[in-house]
Each structure stands twice: as C-alpha cells, then as structure tokens.
C-alpha cells in the first residue's frame, strides 16, 4: 500500500511472522502509572519525562502557530477578494502539514523508545493504570499528555502479557 503524507510517499509492507512463545523465568511484573507531569512512572523506580515539554517540541509548536496564522490570513484575504494566489495557499498548507508531521514523528519515536526500554527488562506481566481518559481529554492542557497511543502500542507487543 502506498500513501502520501506531507508531500512524502510511504510504502506499507505486511509480513507474517510465526508466533514464538518466550518463556520468562522472571516472576516479577511491572506496573506503569501514566501521569501528567511525567509521561510514565514505572514500579521499578524509573520515570520517563513528558516529551511535550522538551525544547524541540515547544520550538516546533511555536513555529506551527506562526505558520497556521499565516495560512489563516491568506484564507481571509482570499475571502475578502484581495490578491492572494491559490498556489501560495497550497505552499503554506504544505508547510503546516510538514510541521505537524515532524511533531507527530518526534512524539511517536519517543513512545516507541520508551516501550522498548520497558520491554527490555523482560517482565512476566505489565500492569497499566486505568485512566478516565474521556474526562481528562476535556482539559486542553492535559489532553496532549494523555492522548498518546501508549497503551495500544504497548499491547501490540506480543512478547508479554498486558493486564489493564
């Protein structure tokens, strides 16, 4: 399957891998508390910082706000009948899409690295705190931290058993 996102093309290839059972002699499990101040606090004492507070993300979000304002002005000028060319609007849309894509890639990469670090400890089971996500999403400041796909990506790993 070929897809396009932010003027880049991606190819999706699916491969079937035979299921292998890994026997863990480690009888201890890990508990994960997904938080707002920190991304995750693990029962073995490790804390993973929230990636939304990094300088790189804040800088990209600031740049994104500027580019979105510029795009909005171009649309407003087009509505008023002033001289704004449609090609320039297309270029500005592409800039905004690329910034969204960069931010998304950084956050996804951080989640994958965090999951890899947790799984490398080879726990026999992983327990994640059950959050009331629907109520937390109503608060705009908390929604970015909570809306991550951490739980689904963690449960896709077939090397261990997840309990929710």
Mean pLDDT of 145-163: 60
State residue 93's pLDDT score: 94
Mean pLDDT of 99-112: 90
State residue 147's pLDDT score: 45
- Reply yes or no on whether the pLDDT at 40 is more than 50: yes
Task: Give me the numbers of helices (H) and strands (E) for the chain, helices first please.
Answer: 5, 7
Mean pLDDT of 30-50: 83
State residue 148's pLDDT score: 54
**Location of structure tokens 């979105």:** 68
- Residue of 59, 103, 96, 61 lying closest to 75 (CA atoms): 96
Three-class SS state of 87: helix
Q: Where are the alpha helices (DSSP H) in the chain?
A: 55-80, 86-119, 133-136, 140-146, 150-156
135 compared with 75, residue with greater pLDDT: 75
Mean pLDDT of 61-83: 90
- Reply yes or no on whether the pLDDT at 142 is more than 50: yes
State residue 158's pLDDT score: 45
- Reply yes or no on whether the pLDDT at 98 is more than 70: yes
State residue 141's pLDDT score: 56
- Reply yes or no on whether the pLDDT at 25 is more than 80: no
* CA–CA gap between residue 145 and residue 107 (Å, rounded): 10
pLDDT band at 64 (very low <50, low <70, confident <90, very high): very high
- CA-to-CA dists, residue 18 to 15, 23, 102, 134, angstroms: 10, 16, 34, 37
pLDDT (tens digit, 9 = 90+) per residue, 41-56?
A: 888 888 888 888 889 9
- Sheet with 161-163, edge to edge strand ranges: 47-49, 38-42, 30-34, 125-128, 161-163
Cβ 61 vs Cβ 69: under 8 Å: no
pLDDT (tens digit, 9 = 90+) per residue, 8-21?
A: 898 989 888 887 76
DSSP 164: -
- Reply yes or no on whether the pLDDT at 38 is more than 50: yes
């Amino acid at each position: 399957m070929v897809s396009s996102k932010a003027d880049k093309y991606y190819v999706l290839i699916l491969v079937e891998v035979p299921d292998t059972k890994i026997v863990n002699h480690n009888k201890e499990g890990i508990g994960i508390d997904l938080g707002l101040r920190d991304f995750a606090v693990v029962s073995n004492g490790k804390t993973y910082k929230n990636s939304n507070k990094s300088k790189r993300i804040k800088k990209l979000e600031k740049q994104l706000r500027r580019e979105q304002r510029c795009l909005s002005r171009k649309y407003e000028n087009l509505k008023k009948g002033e001289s704004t060319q449609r090609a320039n609007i297309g270029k500005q849309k592409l800039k905004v899409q690329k910034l969204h894509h960069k931010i998304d890639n950084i956050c996804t990469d951080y989640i994958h690295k965090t999951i890899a670090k947790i799984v490398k400890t080879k726990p026999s089971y992983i327990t994640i705190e059950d959050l009331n996500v629907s109520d937390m999403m109503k608060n705009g400041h908390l929604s970015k931290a909570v809306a991550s796909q951490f739980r689904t990506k963690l449960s896709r790993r077939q090397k261990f058993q997840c309990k929710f």
